[in-house]
Amino acid sequence: MAKDLSGQVVVIGGGAAGLMAAGQAAAASAPVLLLERTARLGTKLRITGKGRCNLTNTAEMDDFLEHFRFPDPEGDAHLYLRNAFARFFAPDLVAFFQDLGVETNVERGGRVFPSSNNAHQVAEALARFAREQGVEIRTLSRVEKLWLEDGGLRGVILQDGERIAAGAAIVATGGASYPKTGSTGDGYRLAEQAGHRVLPIRPALVPLVLAGTEPRAMAGLSLRNVEVRLLLDGQEVARDFGEMLFTHYGVSGPIILSLSGPAVQRLGRGRLQMSINLKPALGAEKLDARLRRDIDQFGKRSYRNLLKELLPLKMIDVFVARSGIPPSKPGHQISAEERLRVRELLHDFRLAIVGHRPLEEAIVTAGGVDTREVDPRTMASRLVQGLYFAGEVLNVQADTGGYNLQAAFSTGYVAGRAAAGRVAEARE
């Protein structure tokens, strides 16, 4: 027996996009039921930004949208999202959370964080907002499939067979990364059931795996203020500046995550390398002058000990081996040719990329529901009446800096308001 609630909005997923969608639909006077498959709302949201939750970014609209060219520079996510951002953008989000008692701070690169540095505060505020608007919330309720008839949506069917009627349903199930948080790819299956094309999913913002034993030797080493270039068959395809971290399997850290999208795309297409400029502030001439000064001042030291003036300890043995200069060679005996070798290695320390960590460890899932089949003005399916999408389930991804969460909140806002409008029209 179907529950006779055909005039309600059902939201599938209780993360950032789902909670925003549910709250906004209810604020627009629609009856709303939110279904979350796990026992807790906003589980993934609570661990974002290392538990600090990078909500959004202060970048202007055009610059903000450019970040959505990641991981596909030729994709159209940056064009697709303009409509949603025009409705609900970063200043609106900051004001929204301020009204909920969540104050924010702006940090380096325009990143916006809650002043508490506590992602739990953000998740709890969103959940409270939804409840205060009158949203009915059911946890441990997994949607097995959509209830479809005659090209339209009738409701949803739960894993236990329960049918829940609805005038509109919003799929906000997230991607497939961090499955322990509930992001298990359910939304892709539901979209395909409705006839939607799902572009192949792959990890984005994910640590990279390097060849050889060098990474393990440097595991735990953090490099700051370095420039990393991504090279395919020697040709640069991307670059970034900032901080990175060596691990037992390869590399991670902010700039590596940023470069991981184009890296994952190009794996298997040729020789993929990363080139680290360890001294980006020093040009060739200035770096050579620095090396000559160090040799003049510390020339009695061995080559290995001389490098302590230039490199962190954990990197020295790897660097020495790579340079081919005997570690015990006195500094004053280093030839001009060897000095050139050191200089070039400091500016172009290359490591071979052979893979990436699994999707389960990725911050964001690339790929997803084809946006060409979803109206950017409403987040409504172009194939099934009454069906909407919001958040990471869509094929819209950005690099780090608060952009992905803003997209989740904005698409959730638009979907919630549009779905409420649809059920209101049906009641009239």
The pLDDT assigned to 6 comes to 72
Could you list the beta-strand ranges (E) of 77-234.
104-107, 111-114, 136-138, 143-149, 152-158, 163-165, 168-171, 198-204, 208-210, 222-232
Residue found by looking up tokens 């200089």 in the block: 343
Point out the domain boundary residue: 335, 356, 377.
356
Statement to judge: residues 140 and 190 lie in one domain = yes
What are the distances in angstroms from CA 22 to CA 86, 116, 157, 208, 393?
Answer: 20, 25, 19, 36, 16
- Contact of 33 with 169, CB cutoff 8 Å: no
Task: Tell me whether residue 4 is in a domain.
Answer: no
Global confidence as pTM: 0.87
Statement to judge: residues 62 and 189 lie in one domain = yes
Statement to judge: residues 267 and 219 lie in one domain = yes
The pLDDT assigned to 2 comes to 43
The pLDDT assigned to 400 comes to 87
The pLDDT assigned to 4 comes to 44
Geometric angle at alpha carbon 89, from 84 and 90, rounded to 5°: 150
Task: Indicate which CATH number applies to the domain containing 154.
Answer: 3.50.50.60
Point out the domain boundary residue: 356, 386, 419.
356
Statement to judge: residues 90 and 24 lie in one domain = yes
Cα–Cα distance for residue pair 51/317, rounded to 1 Å? 35
Provide the number of structural domains found in the chain.
2
Q: What is the pLDDT of residues 399-410, one digit of tens each?
A: 889 999 999 999
The pLDDT assigned to 176 comes to 83
Task: Tell me whether residue 3 is in a domain.
Answer: no
The pLDDT assigned to 50 comes to 86
Cα–Cα distance for residue pair 84/82, rounded to 1 Å? 6
The pLDDT assigned to 73 comes to 64
Can you read off the two tokens belonging to residue 310?
Answer: 């230039």
Statement to judge: residues 222 and 289 lie in one domain = yes
Q: What is the pLDDT of residues 36-51, one digit of tens each?
A: 999 999 999 999 988 9
Can you read off the two tokens belonging to residue 188?
Answer: 């892709």
The pLDDT assigned to 72 comes to 66
Statement to judge: residues 103 and 41 lie in one domain = yes
Task: Tell me whether residue 2 is in a domain.
Answer: no
Statement to judge: residues 336 and 402 lie in one domain = no
Cis bond upstream, residue 71 (ω within 30): yes
Can you read off the two tokens belonging to residue 349?
Answer: 């320390």
The pLDDT assigned to 71 comes to 64
- Residue 266, H or E segment: helix 254-266
Task: Tell me whether residue 109 is in a domain.
Answer: yes
Alpha-carbon dihedral 162, 144, 20, 397, rounded to 10 degrees:
-170
Cα–Cα distance for residue pair 97/125, rounded to 1 Å? 8
Task: Name residues whose C-beta falls within 8 Å of residue 303's C-beta, 6 or more positions apart in sequence.
Answer: 320, 325, 326, 327, 328, 329, 330, 331, 334
- Contact of 165 with 2, CB cutoff 8 Å: yes
| Residues spanned by the domain of 421 | 9-203+362-427
Point out the domain boundary residue: 312, 340, 356.
356
Statement to judge: residues 168 and 58 lie in one domain = yes
3-class DSSP state of 64: helix
Taking 70 as the pLDDT cut, the residues of the chain under it are 1-5, 70-75, 182, 428
